């Protein structure tokens, strides 16, 4: 099973690829359209600023590849910034248009009795326990690093949240598209179980 890890110059490629390999998948770190479209599944990682990431994706034509792959039913997982890029727009350092694969926007954490960025281990609360990504798993802690968070427009796209001064989007999913705000490859046993579930979906076909 080959998983294309999208290389657009802003991803944590090494740790994600090693995690995929530990789970028995073949990690293809690539920015090549044919390799991405030919893979069993796609992971879109991301570290950095939203606007810069979208500029890199557009300059390389990978924004269109992500949209074409999703239209073809290819399983896609966005991680951290990669999850935020799946949505319609972000207010990070201005207003930026995203991939538009899921409706919603990315906003900065409001001022409150908590530190920004949100950095550290927080417990997941599963909202859609029947989803194949979550079914049978125990809720637990995963590792977050982010200053902006997603407000999905469609309630059913929200699979899990965490509590950080408010309910914060942690996992999203619709059709073949999934996103995790945390870093599953850095989140211990639960993170690897979730990543393994995504790989299983790539091998067995996506959920209905």
Catalytically active residues, by annotation: 80, 183, 185
Between CA 35 and CA 193 the distance in angstroms is 26
From residue 40, alpha-carbon distances to 26, 31, 87 in Å are: 10, 15, 22
Between CA 66 and CA 62 the distance in angstroms is 6
Which of 145, 19, 15 has its CA nearest to residue 80?
Answer: 145
DSSP code at position 134: T
Between CA 65 and CA 70 the distance in angstroms is 8
DSSP code at position 116: S
- 84 close to 50: Cβ distance less than 8 angstroms: yes
């Amino acid at each position: 099973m080959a998983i294309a890890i999208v290389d657009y110059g802003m991803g944590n490629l090494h740790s994600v690829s090693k995690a995929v390999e530990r789970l028995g998948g073949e990690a293809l770190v690539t920015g090549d359209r044919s390799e991405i479209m030919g893979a069993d599944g796609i992971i879109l990682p991301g570290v950095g600023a939203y606007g810069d990431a979208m500029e890199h994706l557009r300059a390389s034509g990978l924004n269109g590849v992500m949209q074409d792959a999703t239209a073809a039913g290819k399983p896609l997982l966005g991680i951290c910034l990669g999850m935020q890029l799946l949505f319609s727009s972000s207010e990070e350092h201005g207003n930026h248009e995203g991939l538009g694969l899921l409706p919603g926007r990315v906003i900065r954490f409001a001022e409150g009795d908590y530190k920004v960025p949100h950095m550290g281990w927080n417990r997941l609360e599963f909202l859609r326990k029947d989803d194949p990504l979550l079914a049978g798993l125990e809720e637990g802690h995963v590792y977050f690093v982010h200053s902006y968070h997603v407000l999905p427009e469609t309630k059913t796209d929200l699979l899990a949240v965490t509590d950080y001064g408010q309910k914060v989007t942690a996992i999203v999913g619709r059709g073949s598209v999934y996103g995790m705000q945390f870093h599953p490859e850095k989140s211990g046993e639960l993170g690897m179980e979730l990543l393994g579930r995504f790989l299983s979906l790539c091998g067995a076909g996506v959920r209905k």
